[in-house]
Amino acid sequence: MDLIFYASLITLGGLGLLFGAGLAFASKKFAVDIDPKVEQIIETLPGANCGACGYPGCSAYAEAVVAGNAPPNKCIPGGEDVTQNIASILGITGVESAEAKVAAIRCQGGKEEAVEKFIYSGIEDCHAALLINGGHKACRYGCLGLGSCAKACPFDAIEMNKNGLPVVIEDKCTGCGVCVQTCPRNIIELIPISQNVYLGCVSKDRTKAVKSVCKVGCFACQLCTKPKVAPSGSIEMEGNLPVIRDIHNEEELFAAYDKCPAHSYVIRGERPVQKEEQKVETEKQ
Amino acid sequence: MGLVKQRTFLGGIHPPGKKHQTEKFATETPPLPPEVIIPLQQHIGAPSEPVVEKGSRVDVGDPLSKCEKFVSVPVHASISGTVTSIEERLHPSGMNQLSVIIENDGKDHWRSDIQFDQDYLDLSIDDMRDRIRDAGIAGMGGATFPTHVKLSPPRDKEIDTLIINGAECEPFLTSDHRLMLEEPKKILLGIQIMARILEVKKIIIAIEKNKPDAIRMMRKNCNEGNFSYRVPGLPVKYPQGAEKQLIYAITRRRVPAGGLPMDIGCVVHNVGTAVAVYEAVAYKRPLVERFVTVAGPGVQQPKNLRLRIGTPYQYIFDYCGGLKESTAEIIMGGPMMGIAQSSLDVPVIKGTSGLLAFEKRNVLNKAENVCISCARCVDACPMKLMPTTIANYVKHGYFDKADEFNALDCMECGSCAYLCPSHINLVHYIRYGKSEIVKRKKKAKVA
C-alpha cells in the first residue's frame, strides 16, 4: 500500500516538475515581445471596440499608437482623460485632445409631425424598410423611426421616444459615430459638444414638397440667413438648406431658433438664461 | 399522363386561383384618359434620356426618350397631345421617377409611319431586332427586362428551345388568358418572328390547365404555317410562370445558380411580349398599350382592360365603378409578387399585368411569431433554398452566412411567407439580406 502511494507520488510529482520546467523554458525561449506600453494603453482605453478611431478595435488602435502610426488623441469615447493617459504612457507632453463630439438627430418629423405614405408592417429595421417602396415616410429625407441607430449604439445612448424618433442621451453618448454610419438616411451628425443649436432637418426639397409632408421641416424660407437675424453671416443658404458657419455665435443662432417659422432649429439641453435676465437676477441678489 | 411524368417543378404552393372574377369577361377598351404620366424608366437596365420638351406636340407612337446603352429601351407617347411637363412623379415601384406628362388633345392621332409592312418576314434579323428595340418592348410578364436583349444570345450559346409563357400562375390575374383567347393569331405571328430571330426549332407554349379554353385555342392552330409548336397543359401550381421553374417543368434542365436561361439553351417570353413583337416588326408600332386585369374584392366591377401606358390608376378605377369604401390595399401585379401602391396618381407601365384592390379583412397583418422549425418554407421553396435559415442569419446580421446559403438565388416569389404558420416576413428578410450582400460585394470590389 505504502509503496503504491509513494510510487505514484514520485511519478506524478516528477512529471509535474518535468512539464513545469518545460513550460518555464518554453516561455523564456519562445516569448513574444509585447511592448508593455501596448498593454498599458489597452488597459486605459474604454474597451468598447466602437471603431471611432478608425481601427478595428481598441487593441489595434493601441498597437498603432505605440508604433507611431496613430496620434494619441484618436479615442473619442475616452476623451480628455484617456488622451492624457496615453500621452503620459508614451512620454509625450502637450497633446491636445480633439474636441468631444456628440450625436445630433437632424430630423424632428416623428409620427405626429410627418406624413406617412402607407402603413408599414414589415421588419423593424430602417435598412429593410427602405426596400419597401423607398420607405413609409412621405419625406424622402426623413427619419424612418424604426430604431436601427438605437440598436447599433454600443453605449446604449440612443432611445426611441413614443413619437417614433431617436433621442440621444448625451451623458452616455461618446461621439463614436457608429450611429452616423448606421443611419441609411444620413440624418445623424456629430457636432462639437460646445455647439448648442443645430438645424433639425436635412431635407433638400423645395417649399411645397416639404410643407406637404412635414410640419417641422425646413422649407427654405431663408429667414434665418437674413441680416436682421444673422447680421454677421453665421448662417448661410446652401441649396435649399441653411448651413451654420459659425457654431459659437449663439446670439444669432438663438435668434434663428426664435424666428424659424417651421421650428426646424433644435437647442441641445436647456436654453441658457438670457444675459439681460441674468443681470437682473444678479442685481436682485 | 401518369403522376411521375407531371410537367412541373419541385416545391411551390397552391393558393386559391380566384380567376373566376374576370376570366369570362371580354377585354374592354375604355375611353382615353385626359392625361397620361409616362415614366422614363419602365424597364430593367440603363435609364433613358428625354428627347421632348415642355410644350412639344406628340402623336401616338412618338418616342419620348432615347438611350445609347444596349440594355435599355425608349418610351413612347401613348396618346396624342401636348407635353405639359417633364417632372418627377410617383412610379409604381414607390420611388419618384422622371416622367413625361402628356395632355390629351382627344384626336388619338397616330404617327404616320405606323403601317402594315407586307414583307416584314424578309427583313434581316438585325433589322427585326432594331424594330423590337425601337418599339420599346420590355418583358410584359412583369419583370420588364428589355426583349431585344433576350433575343440577342451571344454566338457561343446555342438556343434550341423557345418557351412562350402563358402560365399566368398568379391568382386573380387573367390578362394573359384573355390575350390568348382574343389575339391568338398575333401571338402566333409574334412567335414566328421570335423563332426566326433565335433560329430555334422547338417551340412550346406553356399554359396551366386551369385555362382549358386557352389551351384549346392555341392548339387549334398547331402546325399551321411553316413552323410547329406544342401546347402542353401544366398542372396548376404557383410559381409555375417563373422563368427557371417553367424551364425545369418543360425541359428538365436547371439554370445554374447565378446563370441565365440562355446558358442552358432556353429563352422564355411572355405571350404579351409575342403580340408586342409582332406589332413592332410588322407595323413598326411601339408598345403603347397592354392588357390589364382590374380585380379583387375591393373593386365594384372587375374587368379586363386594354389600357394605354401611362393611364393613372384613379381613372381606371373610376371606369370600373370605383373602389369600395372598405378598400385597404392596392397592389400592382399579382397578389404574390406585386407591389403595394401608396397613391392612385400612379400610372400603368409596361409591366402592369393587373391592378388589385383588397379589403381590410384580406390584408394579413399579424404579429410575427417565433419559428417553430416546421420547414414548410423549405418544402415549398421552388429554388430549393432554406428560407428560415437565411432569414435567421439576416436577422442577426450574418450576411456572409446568408450568402453561403444562396440568398441571392431567391426570386421573392413569396411561397415561403405564404405558408409560414408563424407569419414571419421571410421574403422581406431575404430581400433585405440580398440588398446587403450586393452592397457588400460592391464595396469589396471597390476596395
Q: What integer is the mean pLDDT of B257-276?
A: 92
What per-residue confidence (pLDDT) applies to B28? 94
Q: Is the Cβ pair B431, A117 closer than 8 Å?
A: no
Q: Are residues A212 and A155 in the same domain?
A: no
* pLDDT band per the 50, 70, 90 thresholds, residue A285: low
Range of weakest confidence among A101-105, B254-258, B304-308: B254-258
Indicate the burial class of A265 (C-beta count within 10 angstroms; 0-12, 13-18, 19 or more): buried
Are B365 and B425 spatial neighbours (Cβ–Cβ below 8 Å)? Answer: no
Q: How many CA atoms does the CB half-sphere of B309 hold within 13 Å?
A: 29
**Structural domain includes residue A176:** yes
Q: Nearest C-alpha of chain B: how many angstroms from A128?
A: 5
Q: End of a domain among A69, A90, A111? A: A90
Q: Is the Cβ pair B95, A121 closer than 8 Å?
A: no
What per-residue confidence (pLDDT) applies to B349? 94
Q: End of a domain among A190, A213, A237? A: A190
* pLDDT band per the 50, 70, 90 thresholds, residue A1: low
Q: Are residues A47 and A134 in the same domain?
A: no
Q: Is the pLDDT of residue B281 over 80?
A: yes
pLDDT of B102-137, one tens digit each? Answer: 999 998 999 998 899 888 888 999 999 999 999 999
Q: What integer is the mean pLDDT of A44-72?
A: 86
Query: Which of B432, B434, B436, B439 would you mutate first to test chain A, the one with the most A CBs within 10 A?
Result: B432
What per-residue confidence (pLDDT) applies to A52? 81
How many pairs of residues across A and B have Cβ atoms under 8 Å apart? 38
What per-residue confidence (pLDDT) applies to A276? 55
Q: What integer is the mean pLDDT of B145-166?
A: 91
What per-residue confidence (pLDDT) applies to A278? 54
Q: What integer is the mean pLDDT of A170-184?
A: 90
Q: End of a domain among A128, A163, A190? A: A190
- CA A188 – CA A166 distance, rounded (Å): 10
- CA A52 – CA A81 distance, rounded (Å): 16
What per-residue confidence (pLDDT) applies to B142? 81
Q: Is the pLDDT of residue B2 over 50?
A: no
Q: Is the pLDDT of residue B169 over 70?
A: yes
* B228 touches A at CB < 8 Å: no
Interface of A with B (CB under 8 A): 117-119, 121-123, 125, 127-128, 131-134, 140
Q: Is the pLDDT of residue B258 over 90?
A: no
* B432 touches A at CB < 8 Å: yes
Q: What integer is the mean pLDDT of B29-33?
A: 95
A118 vs B93, B342, B435: nearest CB: B342
Q: Are residues A74 and A118 in the same domain?
A: no
For the domain that residue A267 is a member of, what is the CATH number? Answer: 3.30.70.20
What per-residue confidence (pLDDT) applies to A29? 87
Range of the domain at A60: 36-90
CATH of B35-113+286-362 given 3.10.20.600, 3.40.50.300, 3.40.630.30, 3.40.50.720: 3.10.20.600
Instruction: Count CB-CB contacts under 10 A for residue A155.
Output: 18
Q: Is the Cβ pair A123, B425 closer than 8 Å?
A: yes
What per-residue confidence (pLDDT) applies to B273? 95
* pLDDT band per the 50, 70, 90 thresholds, residue B95: confident
What per-residue confidence (pLDDT) applies to A6? 92
Domain boundaries, chain B: 35-113+286-362, 115-283, 376-446
What per-residue confidence (pLDDT) applies to B32? 95
Q: Nearest C-alpha of chain B: how many angstroms from A20?
A: 43
DSSP B230: B
Q: Are residues A170 and A133 in the same domain?
A: yes
Q: Is the Cβ pair B342, A134 closer than 8 Å?
A: no
Q: Are residues A86 and A132 in the same domain?
A: no
Nearest Cα residue in chain B from A131: B432
What per-residue confidence (pLDDT) applies to B386? 96
Q: What integer is the mean pLDDT of B362-387?
A: 91
What letter represents residue B78's amino acid? S
Handedness of CA B125, B130, B135, B141 (dihedral sign): positive
* B438 touches A at CB < 8 Å: no
Q: What integer is the mean pLDDT of B178-200?
A: 92
Start-end of H helices in chain A: 2-29, 36-44, 58-66, 79-90, 126-129, 148-152, 178-182, 207-211, 250-259, 275-284
Q: Nearest C-alpha of chain A: how many angstroms from B391?
A: 11
Q: What integer is the mean pLDDT of B97-105?
A: 94
Q: Are residues A166 and A82 in the same domain?
A: no
Q: Are residues A110 and A72 in the same domain?
A: no
Q: Is the pLDDT of residue B225 over 80?
A: no
DSSP A247: T
Q: Are residues A215 and A182 in the same domain?
A: no
What per-residue confidence (pLDDT) applies to B228? 82
What per-residue confidence (pLDDT) applies to B1? 41
Average pLDDT along chain B: 91
pLDDT of B172-187, one tens digit each? Answer: 999 999 999 999 999 9
Contacts of B436 in chain A (CB under 8 A): 127
pLDDT of B378-391, one tens digit each? Answer: 999 999 999 999 99
Q: Nearest C-alpha of chain A: how many angstroms from B36?
A: 22
**Structural domain includes residue A145:** yes
Q: Are residues A278 and A199 in the same domain?
A: yes
Q: What integer is the mean pLDDT of B284-306?
A: 94
Q: Is the pLDDT of residue B167 over 80?
A: yes
* pLDDT band per the 50, 70, 90 thresholds, residue A234: confident
Helix (H, G, I), strand (E, B) or coil at A123: coil
- CA B162 – CA A14 distance, rounded (Å): 82
Q: What integer is the mean pLDDT of B57-79?
A: 93
Which of the pair, A43 or B221, is modelled with greater confidence?
A43
What per-residue confidence (pLDDT) applies to A57? 86
* pLDDT band per the 50, 70, 90 thresholds, residue A99: confident
pLDDT of B229-238, one tens digit each? Answer: 889 889 999 9
Q: Is the Cβ pair A128, B339 closer than 8 Å?
A: no
Domain B115-283: CATH architecture, name and number where available: 3-Layer(aba) Sandwich (3.40)
Q: Is the pLDDT of residue B393 over 90?
A: yes
Q: Are residues A201 and A264 in the same domain?
A: yes
What per-residue confidence (pLDDT) applies to B3? 45
Q: What integer is the mean pLDDT of B206-225?
A: 85
Total domain count, chain A: 3
Nearest Cα residue in chain B from A132: B94
**Structural domain includes residue A62:** yes
Q: In angstroms, what CA-CA distances link B429 with A121, B387, B410, B420?
A: 13, 9, 11, 13
Q: What integer is the mean pLDDT of A176-200?
A: 91
pTM of the predicted protein model: 0.85
What per-residue confidence (pLDDT) applies to A279? 53
Q: What integer is the mean pLDDT of A92-119?
A: 86
Taking Cα atoms as reference points, which of B180, B158, B381, B342 lies closest to residue B262?
B158
Q: Are residues A261 and A204 in the same domain?
A: yes
